[in-house]
Amino acid sequence: MAISTPSWRALVLTAGLLAFGSTHAHAQTLSEALAATYETNPNIAAALDQLRATDEQLAQAYQYWWRPEITSTLEYGKEWIDTSTSNTTDSGGNAVTDFQQETDLKQAEITTTLYLWRGGQTTAAIDNAMATINAQRALFDNTVQSTLKTAAQAYANVVLQAVSLNLAHEHETNMLGVEKTVNDLLIARQATTVDLAQVTLSVIEAQSSRADTLGELQAARSTFNASVGSYPTELQQWPSLPALPETLEEAIEIARRDNPSIIAAKAEVLANEAAVREDEGVLLPTISIVGDYTLEFENTTFTHSSNISEHDRVGTGSILLEISIPFYTGGYNYSIAREA
C-alpha cells in the first residue's frame, strides 16, 4: 500500500530544507526575514506615509511664529470719461463743449503682516502639532511591532510545520515497513488478517496525518509570503531570543513605559489639551504689524480742442499697529471653545 510520487518526495525534500537549511547555501535568518518585512510590507509603508504627512503639521503650526505674511497685488485697467457741456448765454447764444478723458490705470501693491500675538493660538498650535506627531510616531511603531510579530509567527510556523512534515513522513515510512513485515508474517501464517487490517489502518492514518501537515505547511508558506513579501526557501532553525521579564510586575512596567499604544494615548491627551487652548485663543485679541506700499501709474489723455497727455506716478506707504478684537461673531467662537 505504499504511496510514493515524485511530487511528494520533492515536497518532503523542500520541508527538510525549510526546517534544517542547507550546508551549501545560506539559510534565511529571522532577522533577515524581519528586515525584508519592514522594507516590503504595505501596512508599514502606508503607516510611514501617514507619519510623513503628519510631520507637516509642525511646519503649518509655525506659520505665525514670527514669520510675516507677504502678499502682492498687480492691477491694470482703463477708465473713460466722455463729457458734453451745453452753455446758454444772456444773448441767447448756445455753446456746446465736448470733453473726453481716457486713463490707463496700473497699480502694484505689496502688503506685509507680522502677527505679534494671537491670543496664544500660535504656541497652542505648535504644542498640538508636536503632540500629534509623537502620537503618530507611536502608532507607526505599533504598526511595525504588530506586522513584525506576524512575520515572526509566520517564520516560526513554517519551521514548525516543516519539522512536523518530516516527522509525519518518517512515521508513514515506518508504518509502511510494519505493514510489509506483517504482510510477510501473514504469508508465513504467523499473523492474521486482523493484524494486517489494523496495521493498514495505521498506515492510512499516517498518510492522512502527513497530508494534513502538508496542507498546514502550504498555508504557513502563504502566510509567510503575505507578511515578508516572498515565499520561504531555506530557513534557519530557532534563533536565540532575549530573555523574558523575570516577574509580572517587571513586564507590566515595561509595557507601561514602552508600549506604543500607551505612548500614543498619552500624546493624544496632550494634543487635545493644546487644541482646547488653540480654540479658546480665538476669543482673545490679535495684535499685528501691517505694512503696505502701493505704487500707481496713470497715463491720461484729454481730448478737447487739442490732445493733452498727462503721466502720473504716485507711491503710498504705511505701517500700522493693528489690534483686532472679536466682540461678537454670532456665538460661533464661544461654541467652538465649548465644543473643545
Tell me if residue 242 falls in helix, strand or coil.
coil
Q: What's the DSSP call for residue 283?
A: G
Per residue in 230-269, pLDDT (tens digit) is 888 888 777 677 788 889 999 999 989 989 999 999 999 9
Q: Where are the beta strands (DSSP E) in 92-249?
A: 94-117
DSSP 6-44: HHHHHHHHHHHHHHH--SSSPPBPHHHHHHHHHHH-HHH
Per residue in 279-337, pLDDT (tens digit) is 888 889 999 999 999 998 877 776 765 666 777 788 899 999 999 998 887 888 788 87
Reference 151, options 95, 84, 85, 235; nearest CA is: 235
pTM over 0.85: no
Per the structure block, which three cell numbers stand in for 287?
A: 495684535
> Which residues, 6+ apart, have CB-to-CB distance to 221 below 8 Å?
158, 231, 232
Could you give the CA distance from residue 306 to residue 90 in angstroms, rounded to a whole number? 28
Residue 98 pLDDT level (bands cut at 50, 70, 90): low
Could you give the CA distance from residue 155 to residue 237 in angstroms, rounded to a whole number? 10
Vertex 200 angle, CA 195 and 204, to 5°: 150
Average pLDDT (167-185) is 86
Could you give the CA distance from residue 161 to residue 18 in angstroms, rounded to a whole number? 9
Per residue in 111-158, pLDDT (tens digit) is 999 999 999 999 999 999 999 999 999 999 999 999 999 999 999 889
Could you give the CA distance from residue 17 to residue 166 in angstroms, rounded to a whole number? 10
How, if at all, do strands 286-303 and 69-88 pair? unpaired
Residue 166 has pLDDT above 70, yes or no: yes
Per residue in 42-82, pLDDT (tens digit) is 999 999 999 999 999 999 999 999 999 999 999 998 888 87
Could you give the CA distance from residue 85 to residue 304 in angstroms, rounded to a whole number? 12
Reference 122, options 170, 66, 167; nearest CA is: 66
Where does residue 186 rank: exposed (0-12), middle (13-18), buried (19+ CB within 10 A)? Answer: middle
What residues does 109 pair with on adjacent strands? 73, 294
- Do residues 200 and 208 make contact, with C-beta atoms less than 8 angstroms apart? no
Looking at the domain 17-87+97-339, which fold is it? Outer membrane efflux proteins (OEP) (1.20.1600)
Could you give the CA distance from residue 161 to residue 169 in angstroms, rounded to a whole number? 12
Q: What's the DSSP call for residue 243?
A: P
Could you give the CA distance from residue 298 to residue 107 in angstroms, rounded to a whole number? 9
- Do residues 217 and 231 make contact, with C-beta atoms less than 8 angstroms apart? no
Q: What's the DSSP call for residue 235?
A: B
